[in-house]
Structure 1
Amino acid sequence: GLRKAMLIGMIGTCVGSWIKVGSVSPGRYWLVLLGQGVVGTFGVFLLGVCPKLAAVWFGPHEVSLARRIGVFGSQFGIAVGFVFPPMLFNNSTNREIIEKGFYTLTITVALITTLALAMIFTFFKEQPPSPPSPAQLRIQTNIEQKKNFWQSVKILFFNWSYVLLVLSYGTNVGIFYAFSTLLNQIILIYYPAGAIHAGRIGLIIVISGMIGSVFCGFILDAFSRYKLTITAVYLSCVLSLIAFSFMLGSDIVVFYFISTLLGLFMTALLPIGYELAAELTYPVGEGSSGGILTAAAKVFGIVFTYLYSHFLNTINDIAANIAMSGVLGLGAVFLFFIRFDLQRQKFSSVREFS
């Protein structure tokens, strides 16, 4: 169930966070790996929570906004990750300052995860007293589907439109993860004193992405133009990454502007992908479709981070960015073969007029 998944995920995340508090002292690198391994392992339980929670608790006119707010939560965490560490370390090489910064960072994270776990345990319920939408009622009353998880997975992977969405979404978000991971390294090539800039640019990318998510969400809510919206956003991602590639080394103000555009479009795709996955795969539960979508993005992120880093270190940054732009363009091609058959929307419309 939803509550069990969240509790298991947060317990593991909390334990792993406290393990990392004890790993700050020199000579305890193995403890860093252990703590990060625990967090990563139990984080799997939280990957598909956002789309599932939105669908279970909110009605058809609220679910899109709820899902966007959930995405905002993860993006806010990324934004804090861009800004907070540079403030603690300030590019210092002093061992005492670095150790103090790591203690502050790990203890803060551990306390936040502990508070989150306590709140989930105390306040979070499995589901509302009654289903918030006809679509959710159908899912909750489909006992066979709820029991047979692997049957649902089989249905998903034989839905070719969904498979294409997984490939397209995974490519986009995977490249975004790789880009975010290596942003500091890329910026320092052209701006040697740019550690602070890297944090600020990362923050701007996330904030602009939140704005883009809200805007695209309102378009979907008002017009339900999934194909037009996701295609326009995806192509804008490709163009923005190409522009980013050739603007490296330019005036820092121009670089900030291009980074804003990149974040505006790349992050905006996150909630659109979840929404479209739920529409294409209904009546399969949103937890399954959203979870596979998220898992694919993580796998793609690992692959693209390795490739991006490899090109960055063996060739140069422009070649690395152009290569990623080409891969992103391939992801856009997948969209043109998706059949935008919005099953959940059709079912809700039929129930409303019946």
Structure 2
Amino acid sequence: MEKGGALVGEGGHVTRLYRRRWLMVLLFSSYSLCNAFQWLQYGIISNIFIRYYGVSALAIDCLSMSYMLLYIPLIFPVTWLLDTRGLRIIALIGSGLNCLGAWIKTGSARPDLYPLTLCAQLICAAAQVFILGMPSHLASVWFSSTEVSTACSLGVFGNQLGVAVGFLLPPVLVPNIEDQDSLSSHIRIMFYGTAAVATLLFAMVILVCHGLSLRQTTLGVYVFSLVGMVVFTFTLDLGHLWIIFITAGCLGFFMTGYLPLGFEFAAELTHPESEGTSSGLLNVSAQVFGLIFTTAQGQILDRFGIQAGNIFLCCFLLIGAIITGFIRSDLRRQRANQEVAQAGALQYHTDLREMPTPLLASDP
């Protein structure tokens, strides 16, 4: 039961809600932004770095792919560390590795130091493993049950904004970019910039749609993502840049805005397992499918063109929407929180009734 700035839990135990919990989310979002920025900072202007380091396109692609490849083997020990040692050690290691990788990159800005750049990127990729699983766990530990979704969305927001900044800053800072790369980067900026805004807005969606089940909201956003992908696919060849920007923005709004909903729904379905475990498994599946779809999409683009590749993605989004429709809305964490709150409230009022009445001054 919430009482003022505290929570009354089982046995009347009072857990305070500290005001600095919002500062904690802000700090996490900040270094999550810094880490996400470094994911694609080389790939977005790959033609420049190919010439600068004198390496192949595959070598530059490896810098961004390292984030996906390193996540899969490291997530299991990191999840164990999160469950056994807590948020503090995870936050310190993640932010420390991110800072170290960034400084090494600064020292690797020489044409003969590509191996050092790769080493620095691997360090930042390792930091990502510590960072990505934190939002849902941070929200669960520091916030009340009515604030969990908002806090999780704020945590995810930092990562999405970092990706958008990663697409925006390199083209601005490095002027000699080919037109095709510039157009591609603008579309990606629109996608991820809108996605960052959507991450915050969907925190409000969860609150506004309190009467709907989390399953209905999740399914609705998934279906809109599918519709957005279909519209984007069949308007891409119309030759109007403003249409591409609008459809890419709408697609990013729903597709990446799905992230906080997915984290929250997974935490509800897998309770009492740790939020770090559920979010870690979700991120692992994202990395695995990301590698599979990136490879398959590249082959389809080379052989059949852009539209065929996008139709391929639409088909799998349709399959995902159908599967989501069959998921039961078993909100275990909410039910457990309500039971604990009710038990705590009952114990709290019982203790008040059983307290001895103080003697009056007129009593003998």
Normalised to the residue count of structure 2, the TM-score between the two structures is 0.66
Give yes or no for the alignment of 1:20 onto 2:105. Answer: yes
Is 1:208–2:194 an aligned residue pair? yes
Residue 325 of structure 1: which of 297, 314, 317 is its match? 314
Please point out which of 224, 243, 246 is paired with 2:234: 246
Q: Which runs of 5+ in 2 are unaligned?
A: 1-85, 344-364
Q: Would you say 1:65 and 2:51 are equivalent positions?
A: no
Deviation for aligned residue 1:60: 0.6
1:313 CA displacement = 2.4
Q: Distance in 1 between matches of 2:309 and 2:176?
A: 25
Q: CA deviation at 1:194?
A: 4.8
Shift in Å, 1:41: 2.3
Residues 240, 258 of structure 1: 8 Å contact kept: yes
Determine if the alignment matches structure 1 residue 89 to structure 2 residue 75: no
1:282 corresponding residue in structure 2: 271
C-alpha offsets along residues 65-122 of structure 1, whole Å, 9 cap, x if unaligned?
1111001100110110111111112334xxxxxxxxxxxxxxxxxxxxxxxxxxxxxx
Aligned counterpart in structure 2 of residue 49 of structure 1, from 108, 123, 134: 134
Deviations 1:27-81 (A, max 9, x none): 2222222111222123212221111111110001111111110011001101101
Query: Is 1:351 matched with 2:340?
Result: yes
In structure 2, relative to structure 1, the CA distance for the partners of 1:77 and 1:321 (3 Å cut) is same
| 1:178 alignment partner in structure 2 | none
Closer, same or farther: CA 309–24 of 1 in aligned 2, 3 Å: farther
**C-alpha distance in 1, partners of 2:322/2:266?**
17
**Pairwise CA distance, 1:275:** 0.6
User: What amino acid is the match of 2:248?
Assistant: S
Matches within 5 A, 1:149-298: 193-221=179-207, 222-249=210-237, 250-298=239-287
Are positions 1:40 and 2:40 aligned together? no
Q: How many residues are matched?
A: 255
1-structure distance, mates of 2:115, 2:196: 36
Distance 1:210 1:321 in 2: 23
1:335 CA displacement: 0.7
CA distance in 1, matches of 2:191, 2:331: 30
**Contact 1:47–1:295 (CA<8 Å) still a contact in 2?**
no
Report if the CA contact (8 A) 1:208-1:263 is conserved: yes
The percentage of counterpart residues that share the same residue type is 36
Q: What one-letter code is carried by the residue in structure 1 that aligns with 2:202?
A: C
1:342 to 331, 349, 358: 331
Structure 2 partner of 1:10: 95
What's the offset of the Cα at 1:206?
2.5
AA of the residue aligned to 1:19: I
C-alpha change, 1:211 and 1:30, in structure 2 (3 Å) is closer
Shift of the 6–224 alpha-carbon distance from structure 1 to 2, 3 Å rule, reads: farther
Distance in 1, matches of 2:141 and 2:95, equals 20
- Cα shift readout 1:164-209 (whole Å, capped 9, x = no counterpart): xxxxxxxxxxxxxxxxxxxxxxxxxxxx835444333323222322
Correspondent of 1:303 among 273, 277, 292: 292
What is the match of residue 164 of structure 1?
none
1:204 aligned partner, one-letter code: M
The residue number in structure 1 matching 2:69 is: none
Hey, what's the Cα distance between the residues in 2 that align with 1:261 and 1:280? Answer: 28
**Contact 1:209–1:265 under 8 Å retained in 2:** yes
Please give the secondary structure, in 2, of the residue aligned with 1:18.
Answer: helix
Structure 1: distance between partners of 2:188 and 2:211: 31
Paired with 2:202 and 2:101, the residues of 1 have a C-alpha distance of 36
CA distance in 2, matches of 1:351, 1:52: 19
Going from structure 1 to structure 2, the CA distance change for 1:215 and 1:45 (only over 3 Å counts) comes to: closer
Distance 1:219 1:72 in 2: 15
Question: Rg larger in 1 or in 2?
Answer: 2
Distance in 1 (alpha carbons) for counterparts of 2:184 and 2:331? 40
Question: Whole-Å Cα distance in 1 between the matches of residues 116 and 217 of structure 2?
Answer: 45
Any conservation in 1 of the 2:215–2:265 contact (CA below 8 Å)? no
Q: TM-score, normalised by structure 1?
A: 0.68
Supply the distance in 2 between the matched residues of 1:339 and 1:279 (Cα, whole angstroms). Answer: 11
Describe the superposition over 1:284-328 as per-residue Cα deviations: whole angstroms up to 9, x where unpaired. 111111121122212222222222222222321111111111112
Q: Distance in 2 between matches of 1:70 and 1:262?
A: 21
Q: 1:308 to 1:207 in 2, by over 3 A?
A: same
Conserved in 2, the CA contact under 8 Å of 1:82 and 1:198?
A: no
